[in-house]
Amino acid sequence: MSTTEKILIIGAGGQIGVELTESLSKIYGNKNIIPSDLKDTGIFTNNSFEKLDALDKNALFDIVKKHGVTQVYHLAALLSATGEQNPMFAWKLNMESLFHVLDLAKEKHISQIYWPSSIAAFGPTTPRQNTPQFTIMEPSTVYGISKQAGERWCEWYYNKFGVDARSLRYPGLIGWKSAPGGGTTDYAVHIFHEALKHKTYECFLSENTALPMMHMEDAIRATIEIMQAPADKIKIRGAYNLSGISFSPKEIAEEIKKHIPDFTITYKPDFRQAIAESWPQSINDKEAREHWSWKEKYDLPKLVENMLVNLKEKALV
């Protein structure tokens, strides 16, 4: 695809960034995608990687100028579990880095921003089943507070300055190409690795703790679709609810057992149990479906089969 876009991905070395870099590179060409992160792990051999601390506004500006960046996908953050362990730094990283990117757009150095929100923006007083787009939101984690505040700031920059920031409230994301980094939903990735390696998994959530989840391929597609949608289709300038699947540890374990009959799971809930219990169990995303035609492809059986086949075939376990 020929393009005038130059796309900077901040936090590209993380669970989403690795896959997003690959997908965007296929669409826009390697030379137009600039992955960046705190450290160069050497995985981005086809793109020109930039070492960048998202808190360093001057360094960010220099990279934007150097490459003529037009769009930023800003993924750097501390997630729910690590955020609770380092609350002040989580707030600083998650908020200040977002302001740096929003200000770049306000000052017209870049034209479009993607910044992810999360189901963590909801809280214990939110209706937990089929959670609607507009509802009570009183998040109880620092991570969730930063996501809710970030949503409001994206909307405010749009209303005041016309900043074209777009956002999705991702559920827990599950993929085989990259490892998760400090979330409450991470068990749903670890379980596959342990099932293939040891045929057993000790889960840090209790058996019936249902949460909204999604295959990474669906999440990447949703991300690119919302960014490519005509501006007039984006009627929500905070963040869109986004739904894929909903399941509990017990349900995913049962599905894994269909492929690995002697797989066993045990439960040892830790501090992440309280975080999970403060989040919705399932999400209503009718606005995303109506406004920009979102539709997921993966259900639970398809997701489980895809994870096991790919982890096994690529000998990633």
We find the least distance from the C-beta atom of residue 169 to ligand AKB, in angstroms, to be: 9
**Total number of residues that touch ligand NAD (CB under 6 A):** 28
Asked if 17 is part of the footprint of ligand AKB (rule: CB under 6 A), the reply reads no
Distance CA 234, CA 155 (A): 11
Asked if 178 is part of the footprint of ligand AKB (rule: CB under 6 A), the reply reads no
Asked if 112 is part of the footprint of ligand AKB (rule: CB under 6 A), the reply reads no
Would you please indicate which residues are annotated as catalytic (active-site) residues? Answer: 143
Asked if 216 is part of the footprint of ligand AKB (rule: CB under 6 A), the reply reads no
We find the least distance from the C-beta atom of residue 226 to ligand AKB, in angstroms, to be: 17
Asked if 16 is part of the footprint of ligand NAD (rule: CB under 6 A), the reply reads yes
> How do 172-174 and 33-37 pair as beta strands?
unpaired
Calculate the dihedral angle through the C-alpha atoms of 51, 56, 57, 63, rounding to the nearest 10 degrees. -10
- Taking CB within 5 to 8 Å according to partner kind, which of ligand NAD, ligand AKB, none is near residue 280? none
Collect all residues with Cβ–Cβ distance below 8 Å to 97 and sequence separation of at least 6. 10, 54, 55, 74, 76, 77
Asked if 168 is part of the footprint of ligand AKB (rule: CB under 6 A), the reply reads no
In terms of CB distance, is 10 or 101 closer to ligand NAD? 10
- Taking CB within 5 to 8 Å according to partner kind, which of ligand NAD, ligand AKB, none is near residue 184? ligand AKB
Percentage helix, strand, coil for the chain under 3-state DSSP, each rounded to 5: 45, 15, 40
Strand partners, 215: 174
In terms of CB distance, is 48 or 232 closer to ligand NAD? 48
Asked if 118 is part of the footprint of ligand NAD (rule: CB under 6 A), the reply reads yes
What type of residue is 79? L
Q: Is 73 helix (H, G, I), strand (E, B) or coil?
A: strand
Distance CA 218, CA 207 (A): 25
Among residues 182, 212, 244, 249, which is the contact residue for ligand NAD, using CB under 6 A?
182
Neighbours of 123 (CB within 10 A): 18
Among residues 7, 63, 72, 79, which is the contact residue for ligand NAD, using CB under 6 A?
79
> Contact 280/131 with Cβ under 8 angstroms?
yes
Strand partners, 10: 36, 74
**Total number of residues that touch ligand AKB (CB under 6 A):** 10
Among residues 13, 139, 212, 244, which is the contact residue for ligand NAD, using CB under 6 A?
13
Binding mask 87-106 for ligand AKB (x = CB under 6 A): --------------------
Asked if 9 is part of the footprint of ligand NAD (rule: CB under 6 A), the reply reads no
Strand partners, 173: 214
Neighbours of 286 (CB within 10 A): 13
Angle in degrees, 0-180, between the axes of helices 142-161 and 87-106, rounded to the nearest 10: 10
In terms of CB distance, is 5 or 218 closer to ligand NAD? 218
Which residues in this chain contact ligand AKB in the complex, by CB under 6 A? 79-80, 118-120, 143, 172, 183-185
Which residues in this chain contact ligand NAD in the complex, by CB under 6 A? 10-11, 13-17, 37-38, 52-55, 75-77, 79, 93, 116, 118, 170, 172-173, 180-183, 185
